[in-house]
Structures are given as C-alpha cells and as structure tokens.
C-alpha cells in the first residue's frame, strides 16, 4: 500500500521536496500557512489540507519543513492531538538541538521522531541532491530511510537530536565563512587585485567563494542570520555574532546569502 505522508511547509525548500515525494509515488497531503502555495502540488496529485491537524490525520509519516523554532512549535502543538499513535514525525527544519527536544516533548510518546535537516538549497532540493543529516533511534531511522532517500544522500548522525546538532555546526561555519569571504573580496578590490573573484576561486577559499557567487539558490539573509542566532544561543561565538550583524544589515533580507553579503560590501 502507498504510504500516506503529510508535508507541512511549502516554502522555497519545502515545495520542491514535496514535489519529489509526489513523483516518487507517495500519497501526499500538503499544508502551508499561505494556502495558495499548495495549488501547484495539487495539480501533480497531492491533496491540500486547510489546517495542519487535517493534513496529518491518518498519515504514517509527517514531514515538517518550516522557517524557525517558533513556526515548528506552533505546528507541533497543532498536530499533536491528531497524530496517529504509530506515526513518525520527520522534522527537517533548522531549529537546533534545543528546538528538536522541545518538539519531542510536544508530541505523544508513542509517535516516532527523526530530526533530518538538510544541507543544500533549492536547486539541490529540486534535483534530489540534498545532504540529509538524520538523527533518531535505529527503529525510527529505518522506518523513514526510503522516504529520506528521495531527497538526497542520507547520513545517519546518531541518536535523537544528532542531525540537528550536526546541521547547526555545518551551516554556522558556512554562513560565517561566506560572510568573511565577502569581506575578503572587498579587501581584494580595494587593493586593486586583477580579477579578485578569480583570485579567490583559485585559492583554498574556492568553496566559500563559489557559494558567494552561486546562482539558482535561495537561502535568505534572514534565515542565515537565524541560524547564527541559534548557534549563539548554545555558545558565545564572537565571530559568528559579528557575521550575524553583517547579515542583519543587508538591505534586502529576502536576498540569497551570497547576494546579501555582496550588497553589504558594495556599500563600503
């Protein structure tokens, strides 16, 4: 029988991920706070629900892909009474280990939970090339292994919360690194180097430089700043705090991380 999946959150990342589940043959019910975002999914065969609780009714797997801890908490509170006792909640948002633990406390003990945030942007979400960082009990991980593989390469990171922890570590380093490389580019331009971008791309900074100029991605300055805030709640991290201040000064908070960093440095 086809597995029924509730997918909650159809933002820049959630929408292409939900599309992949529909095309993989899952029985998908979708919900989004802005209902119009569900319409393209219904043309592909998904069912749209009016509320999160309606979406999860009868679902064997529930996937959440939302913006921040507050949004995930609100949805978890809304769906908790409606979850099947044997369902598995797959939390794929970036909310950190503390946020993951809070969600675990909100849902019934009989419901399984896997934290599986992802690395990669909308281009990789659409092509199924995300890096999925999964944490959970062996039983829960096994139950959703095939579903997670639809999104990309799955790395089992350890017990509950391990995926969220690894994601926070990696994304914080990348966001801060891109911010610093943006300033490095500004320094190179001020010093009059020929083709500063090429200089960076031919150096050990090439990976971060590539992300600074990446096309077809959508990881906003606002969301990048949120991730650094979550890291700062775990530990006092002065460099990351400074990077967050840079991102918060970006004129367009909806702009992709790389574009936002370049825009800040163009004003120097």
Q: What number is the average pLDDT over the span 229-258?
A: 97
Q: How confident is the model at residue 184 (pLDDT cuts 50, 70, 90)?
A: very high
Catalytic residue, chosen from 4, 167, 226, 267, is 167
Residues pairing with 89 in the sheet = 62, 113
Provide the pLDDT for residue 217. 87
In the chain, what are the domain boundaries? 4-159, 166-266
The whole-chain average pLDDT of the chain stands at 96
Is the separation of the CB atoms in 68 and 100 below 8 Å?
Answer: no
4 has catalytic annotation: no
The CA–CA distances, whole Å, from 53 to 67, 74, 101, 148 equal 19, 11, 21, 22
CA distance 50 to 158: 35
Burial label, 70 (beta-carbon count in 10 A; 0-12, 13-18, 19+)? exposed
Place of tokens 């909308």: 122
Contacts of 262 (CB under 8 A, 6+ apart): 182, 185, 212
* CATH classification for the domain delimited by 166-266, as one of 1.10.1040.10, 3.40.50.2000, 3.40.640.10, 3.30.70.940: 1.10.1040.10
Provide the pLDDT for residue 110. 98
Provide the pLDDT for residue 94. 96
DSSP of 80-131, one letter per residue?
GGGS-TT-EEEE-S--HHHHHHHHHHHS-TTSEEEE--EES-HHHHHHT-EE
CA distance 205 to 79: 44
Q: Judge if 4-159 and 166-266 fold alike in CATH terms.
A: no
Give, for 17, the enclosing helix (H) or strand (E). helix 14-23
| Domain 4-159 CATH assignment equals 3.30.420.10 | no
Token readout for 113 is: 């939970």
pLDDT tens for each residue of 102-143: 999 999 999 999 999 999 999 999 999 999 999 999 999 999
Provide the pLDDT for residue 268. 80
pLDDT tens for each residue of 145-176: 999 999 999 999 999 999 999 999 999 999 99
């Amino acid at each position: 029988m086809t597995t029924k999946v509730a997918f909650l959150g159809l933002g820049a990342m959630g929408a292409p991920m939900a599309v992949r589940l529909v095309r993989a043959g899952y029985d998908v019910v979708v919900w989004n706070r802005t209902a119009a975002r569900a319409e393209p999914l219904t043309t592909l065969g998904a069912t749209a629900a009016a509320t999160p609780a309606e979406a999860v009714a009868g679902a064997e797997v529930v996937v959440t892909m939302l913006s921040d801890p507050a949004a995930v908490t609100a949805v978890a509170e809304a769906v908790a009474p409606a979850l099947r006792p044997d369902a598995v909640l797959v939390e794929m948002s970036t909310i950190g280990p503390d946020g993951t633990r809070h969600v675990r406390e909100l849902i019934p003990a009989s419901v399984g939970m896997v934290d599986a945030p992802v690395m990669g942007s909308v281009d990789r979400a659409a092509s199924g090339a995300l890096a999925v960082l999964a944490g959970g009990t062996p039983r829960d991980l096994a139950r959703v292994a095939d579903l997670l593989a639809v999104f990309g390469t799955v790395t089992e990171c350890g017990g509950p919360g391990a995926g969220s922890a690894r994601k926070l570590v990696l994304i914080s380093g990348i966001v801060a690194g891109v911010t610093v490389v943006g300033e490095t580019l500004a320094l190179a331009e001020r010093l009059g180097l020929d083709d500063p971008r090429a200089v960076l791309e031919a150096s050990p900074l090439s990976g971060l430089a590539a992300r600074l100029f990446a096309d077809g991605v959508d990881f906003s300055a606002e969301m990048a700043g949120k991730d650094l805030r979550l890291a700062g709640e775990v530990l006092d991290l002065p460099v990351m705090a400074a990077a967050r201040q840079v991102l918060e000064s970006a004129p367009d908070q909806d702009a992709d991380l790389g574009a936002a960093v370049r825009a800040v440095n163009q004003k120097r």
